[in-house]
């Protein structure tokens, strides 16, 4: 009798494997949560103050909202992006290249698919929490509470999962840290600006508006705004669908990219 | 029979582009033994280790670890293996205890047994008093002890140690040997790669000498020495011209020689009668190693 007859072949995406990777992240987080919470709170506050009061003095209302409300809801997506795509890109690269953490994890009963999924789940959860901070700050500046706000962590989580997978994918394809510059300048910055965060896309030329419709960040911005001020039925359902599709596709590509990187 | 072998490799091949790192390697590791992979840098030892955890996928050959076929059933095999890699990959921002805790989870130790497993590993690494310290505060020897203890936290049936003492002081090295020896006496199967001859000679029941991705000789260290280098070696010192002369004479007499930097070793001068002055010493594994893997450094 060989061992493979005694115990069943282990499956895919097993909970103990995901838990193992998540435990590592949670334990690690306990040593750096102060700094990361500080930066993810202070950054949106600065955006709000700068744009809210800077621009707010020039434009009092935009698209039917007070400007501080417009920016306060829009920067939720910014916070999600900054707490998911960036840590995923840099963290993944550091963990496989410099700390060789992933080598250690993959020698244990964990597959690349589980590793990537657990890392993305963790980053998404953080993004779900940190994503709400700008909204809370905006509330301090006069944004009225609403029931829809309760769905904002979920929206932030979903978008965060997609962007985390995006970051892991980039780290998987990158051969050095310098490669990230291209991604940040050529992909993230434009997407960040044509997301409808600081100004509505309707101000932009037609091509930029079309670009906006394929920008996951834009869907996140709109969903959050509608969650706070009132959902728009089918349109928002389509936006959720777009974010789900974005997350699923990038999840699979991220796994593929990391498999190429981690398994010789 | 495959169920008495902890590891069975048959014709394993692994290529990286134009380089063939492992080139038709056969390797048997019987349960309960310690096998040493001995070879110079670049002989394919680390790649072999990566094949065994399916972190490298072979281009050809059959691989079985603890009865599981690789790479398809590698996850089940990995659950019962412990791996201490050559390059330290501890989490430096975590404490000693946290590092063990993470691996207790990764190796799926039951919740009720986790605490005990961590304590056992701490004790094994003799780091109980440093449990709360961050890893980057530890000395090199402590880190290596932790790295090995981390691989043992779940009491694996098979342990893979890739160059367990590379770059460490002699004192620290001896400490680690004691740890590995204790493990061996408990009946854990060990596959260890090393390029330190002494390490292989002391710890391994069987040694496989590797060169250019293949096994060139295998057997218990003492047998390998007897078979390939004879019992005694004559070591002759002198200026380079004299050494060249001695080498030529030995070749004429049908004896094998190897350079040892400042001297020439003439192998297989068992008994007497060889008419050259020099120091006689017992043949050792290093003689075999150099003989089989070549003198030139690549």
Residue with the two structure tokens 């029931």: A147
Query: Is A5 within a domain?
Result: no
The count of structural domains within chain A is: 1
Are the beta carbons of B69 and A264 separated by less than 8 Å?
no
Contacts of A28 in chain B (CB under 8 A): 91, 93-94
Establish if A8 belongs to a structural domain.
no
Using an 8 Å Cβ cutoff, are B8 and A3 in contact? no
Chain centre to alpha carbon of residue A122: 11
pLDDT at B3 over 60: no
* Structural domain containing residue A145: 13-262
Q: For B98-126, what is the mean pLDDT?
A: 94
> Running along chain A, 264 residues long, what does each successive block of 10 average in pLDDT?
49 90 94 86 81 77 84 90 92 91 95 96 96 90 90 96 97 90 88 86 86 91 92 90 96 96 91
Q: What is the pLDDT of residue A4?
A: 42
pLDDT digits (tens, 9 = 90+) for B239-276: 888 888 888 888 888 888 888 778 888 887 776 667 77
Pick B30 or B287 by higher pLDDT. B30
Q: What angle do CA A254, B85, B151 make, to 5 degrees?
A: 95
Cα–Cα distance measured from residue B248 to residue A125, given in angstroms and rounded to the nearest whole number: 74
Interchain proximity A23–B101, CB inside 8 Å = yes
Partner-chain residue, chosen from B3, B47, B66, that has the shortest CB–CB distance to A1: B3
Nearest by CB to residue B78, choosing from A28, A103, A108, is A108
Q: Per-residue pLDDT for B12 more than 80?
A: yes
Amino acid B271: pLDDT: 67
DSSP codes of every residue in A180-214: HHHHIIIIIHHHHHTTSSSS-GGGS-HHHHHHHHT
- How far is Cα A22 from Cα A115, in angstroms, rounded to an integer? 9
Closest CA to B84 of B73, B99, B95: B99
Q: Poorest-confidence range of A44-58, A153-167, B25-39, B104-118? A: A44-58
Whether A7 is in a domain gets the answer no
Which residues in chain A have Cβ-Cβ distances shorter than 8 Å to B14? 264
B178-202 confidence digits (pLDDT tens): 989 999 898 899 999 988 888 888 8
Residue A101 inside a domain? The answer is yes
Given its phi and psi angles, is residue A2 left (phi above 0), alpha (psi -120 to 50 degrees) or beta?
Answer: beta
Is residue A154 assigned to a domain?
yes
**Domains along chain B with CATH numbers:** 1-80+157-218 (3.40.50.300), 88-155 (no CATH), 231-282 (3.30.70)
Contact A11, A113 (CB under 8 A): no
Per-residue pLDDT reduced to its tens digit, B136-177:
999 988 999 999 999 999 999 999 999 998 888 888 888 889
Note whether residue A3 is domain-resident: no
Q: What is the side-by-side strand order in the sheet with B68-70? A: B19-30, B5-16, B60-65, B68-70
Q: What is the pLDDT of residue A25?
A: 95
Beta bridge partner(s), residue A150: none
**A109: nearest CB among B14, B79, B93:** B79
Helices then strands (H, E): number in chain B? Answer: 10, 14
Whether A1 maps to a domain, the answer reads no
Residue-wise pLDDT tens digits, A201-211? 888 888 888 88
């Amino acid at each position: 009798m060989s061992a493979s007859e005694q115990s069943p072949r282990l499956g895919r995406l097993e909970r103990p494997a995901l838990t193992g990777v998540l435990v590592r992240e949670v334990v690690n987080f306990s040593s750096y949560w102060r700094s990361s919470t500080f930066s993810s709170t202070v950054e949106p506050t600065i955006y709000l103050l700068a744009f809210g009061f800077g621009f707010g003095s020039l434009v009092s209302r935009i698209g039917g909202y007070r400007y501080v409300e417009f920016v306060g809801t829009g920067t939720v997506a910014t916070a999600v992006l900054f707490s998911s795509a960036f840590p995923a890109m840099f963290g993944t690269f550091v963990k496989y290249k410099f700390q060789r953490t992933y080598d250690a994890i993959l020698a244990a009963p964990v597959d690349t698919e589980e590793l990537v999924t657990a890392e993305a789940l963790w980053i998404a959860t953080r993004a779900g929490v940190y994503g709400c901070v700008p909204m809370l700050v905006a509330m301090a500046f006069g944004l009225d509470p609403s029931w829809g706000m309760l769905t904002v962590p979920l929206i932030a989580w979903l978008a965060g999962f997609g962007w985390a997978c995006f970051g892991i994918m980039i780290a998987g394809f990158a051969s050095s840290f310098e490669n990230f510059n291209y991604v940040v300048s050529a992909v993230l910055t434009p997407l960040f600006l044509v997301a409808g965060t600081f100004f509505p896309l309707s101000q932009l030329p037609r091509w930029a508006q079309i670009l906006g419709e394929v920008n996951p960040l834009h869907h996140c911005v709109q969903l959050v705004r509608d969650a706070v001020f009132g959902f728009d039925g089918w349109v928002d359902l389509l936006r959720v669908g777009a974010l789900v599709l974005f997350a699923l596709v990038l999840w699979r590509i991220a796994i593929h990219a990391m498999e190429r990187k981690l398994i010789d | 029979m495959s169920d008495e072998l902890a590891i069975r490799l048959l014709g394993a091949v692994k290529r990286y582009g134009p380089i063939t790192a492992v080139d038709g390697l056969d390797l048997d590791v019987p349960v309960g033994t310690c096998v040493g992979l001995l070879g110079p840098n670049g002989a394919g030892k680390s790649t072999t280790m990566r094949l065994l955890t399916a972190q490298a996928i072979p281009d050809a050959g059959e691989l079985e670890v603890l009865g599981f076929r690789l790479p398809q059933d590698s996850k089940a095999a990995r659950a019962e293996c412990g791996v201490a890699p050559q390059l330290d990959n501890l989490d430096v921002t975590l404490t000693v205890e946290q590092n063990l805790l993470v691996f207790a989870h990764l190796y799926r130790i039951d919740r009720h047994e986790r605490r005990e497993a961590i304590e056992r590993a701490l004790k094994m690494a003799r780091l109980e008093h440093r449990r709360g310290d961050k890893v980057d505060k530890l000395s090199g020897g402590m880190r290596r002890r932790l790295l090995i203890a981390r691989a043992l936290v779940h009491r694996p049936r098979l342990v893979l140690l890739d160059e367990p003492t590379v770059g460490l002081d002699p004192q620290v090295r001896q400490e680690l040997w004691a740890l590995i020896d204790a493990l061996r006496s408990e009946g854990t199967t060990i596959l260890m790669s090393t390029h330190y001859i002494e390490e292989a000679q002391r710890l391994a029941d069987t040694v496989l000498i590797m060169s250019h991705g293949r096994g060139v000789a295998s057997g218990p260290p003492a047998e390998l020495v007897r078979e390939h280098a004879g019992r005694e070696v004559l070591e002759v010192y002198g200026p380079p011209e004299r050494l060249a002369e001695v080498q030529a004479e030995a070749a004429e007499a049908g004896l094998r020689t190897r350079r040892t930097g400042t001297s020439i070793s003439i192998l297989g001068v068992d008994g007497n009668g060889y008419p050259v002055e020099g120091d006689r010493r017992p043949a050792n594994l290093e003689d075999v190693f150099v003989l089989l893997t070549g003198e030139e450094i690549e």
